[in-house]
Structure 1
Amino acid sequence: MPVVDFDPELAALRPLGGFFVLRTLPHPAGADPSRPPRAAGAGPWRLPVLADGYGAGTPDPRRDPLALRVATVAGRLRTAEPRVAASLAHQGLAARLWSAALGCAVLYGRVPDLDPRLLRWDARATAPDDLWLIGPRPLPGDAATLAATVLHGHLEPLAATLRARYGVAAGLLWGNAGSALAATARELGRWARAHGRTDVAARARALTGELFAHPLLETTGSRTGTAFRRRSCCLYYRVPGGGVCGDCCFTRPPRSSPDGTSG
């Protein structure tokens, strides 16, 4: 896979669409990335980092970006069920993380370091989630690095937090992760075909296949080409006016109140 140096603004991601765009914040080499530079001012530097939201403590939307995001999603979707809002907030963030990481892997041949302490998050923003990366620092663009960066670096602590705080089922959360990865791969494939980039399509397909072989993702659903049918439900049908998604395990909204996982 050819390797291209990161440009400071990761501009190659922009043509892929809003879910792929990852805005950046330059930081002096050798400085503590968790602290804004003296001349940074406010703006995105005022935002909390994703790491501030990972943890099983009592959520406080005033100080915790994850709790704020769940509350924001609940308000916008008019749902009184925190578990539903937590699932849908998780789905959106998973999609953003996969899109930025996989998009960089196929276009640059590298993955940016997405350490939760390096990603500032505007949890009040509309979808897609507004993320700002301090850096970027390049890492290898292989599936093992993608798994370490997204699955282990974010989705594992995020899932543990949402299970502890909101009682969201583990199978549902990993189903969200698989669904978000499959959607990311489909969008990359669409873009690649439209622009004659068979190399991008091939890399996206190969990396996605390796990722779905990971123990955390291999049982999340069934894949046929780029199509994906998950074995769980994100609970969107419980939102006022909602329904089942195209990759849902249900063909119609269930009458009962399942935990989001299928038999």
Structure 2
Amino acid sequence: MDLDPDLAALRPLAGFFVLRTEGASAGSLPTLAQAYAPVAPDVSVNPLIFRVRKIATALRVPESRVAASITHQGLAARLWSIALGCAALYGGVPDLDARLLRWDADGSAPDDLWLTDVRPLPGDAAALADVVLHGHLVPLAAALRAHHGLAPGLLRGNAASALAGAARELGRWARRHGRPDAAARARSLAAEVLAHPLLTGAGTLDGTAFRRRSCCLYYRVPGGGVCGDCCFTRPPRSSPRAASG
């Protein structure tokens, strides 16, 4: 199925799945490519650093690495949801080149993204890995590691958890709306991508249930706890650095 210019099939899914396209004005917002770029002398103009600071303030998080992990997970969830949603519903994915995606780093969650040009690509697992993993999560992880020292295992766990979560949510929607084909395709694609070398070892997938081998550090947010797929069953008392590595 061809992609329509507005990616209208994603709208009923709402939340993390919807992507604004060229029909919506993104103004002078930066691209995600700019967010992944090396830090300029004036770090205040870097949208990724701005986003981390915004989340840290909003959640009253004293540790920047905790806010950085939440920032990473939020973007990963958005990108996986868009790509997997299109693959399951259209049979293809849009080119999500970081230079084509504009990002409102000052927006609310889910992250506001605009795609300036809809260019269709295949909807197989290889394309998903190329578009999201290589196109976004590798440079995003490099930027966050450089700025905030996040452990590679934590970032790999975030990426895998976000993919499994997107597949789970898409499957629930598809079953409610009589689209078992879309649910099965999302589940199959997610399992195949989770076997990618960049995600291997991040966790265990059992049907639609995923258990990661690292912690995203959300329990260190005031009032936070462990996530449903966390390696911990309760918030640890000691430092999570070893578990998140």
Q: TM-score range by the shorter chain?
A: over 0.9
TM-score (norm 2): 0.96
1:161 lines up with 2:158 in the alignment? no
User: CA shift at 1:224, angstroms?
Assistant: 1.0
* Residue ranges of structure 1 left out of the alignment (5+ in a row): 27-39
Identity of aligned residues (%): 70
- Correspondence 1:81 to 2:63: yes
Correspondence for 2:194: 212
Name 2:4's counterpart in structure 1: 7
Shift of 1:57: 2.7
Equivalent position of 1:18 in the other structure: 15
The match for 1:124 is 106
Q: Any idea what SS the aligned residue of 2:121 has?
A: strand
* Counterpart pick for 1:98 among 52, 75, 80: 80
Q: Does 1:258 align with 2:231?
A: no
TM-score by length of 1: 0.89
Residue number in structure 1 paired with 2:204? 222
- Of the structure 1 ranges 95-104 and 203-212, higher mean CA displacement relative to structure 2 is found in 203-212
Following TM superposition, by how much is the alpha carbon of 1:45 offset from its aligned partner in structure 2, in angstroms? Answer: 2.5
- C-alpha contact 2:59 2:222 (8 A) present in aligned 1: yes
Corresponding residue for residue 115 of structure 1: 97
Q: Which structure would you say has the larger Rg?
A: 1
Whole-angstrom distance in 2 between the partners of 1:75 and 1:60: 20
Task: Tell me if 1:170 matches 2:167.
Answer: no
- Output one character per residue of 1:180-228: Cα deviation in whole Å (capped at 9) or x when no partner: 0000000111011101111101111111111011011121001111001
**Aligned residue pair count:** 245
1:63 aligns with 2:45: yes
Cα distance in 1, alignment partners of residues 60 and 42 from structure 2: 20
- Whole-angstrom distance in 2 between the partners of 1:223 and 1:241: 28
Residue range with higher mean Cα deviation, 4-13 or 58-67: 58-67
Gaps of 5+ in 2: none
Cα distance in 2 for residues equivalent to 1:223 and 1:113: 27
Measure the CA separation in 1 of the matches of 2:96 and 2:125: 15
Please identify runs of 4+ aligned residues in structure 1 that moved more than 4 A. 58-61
Name the amino acid aligned to 2:202.
T
Task: Measure, in 2, the Cα distance between the counterparts of 1:13 and 1:238.
Answer: 33
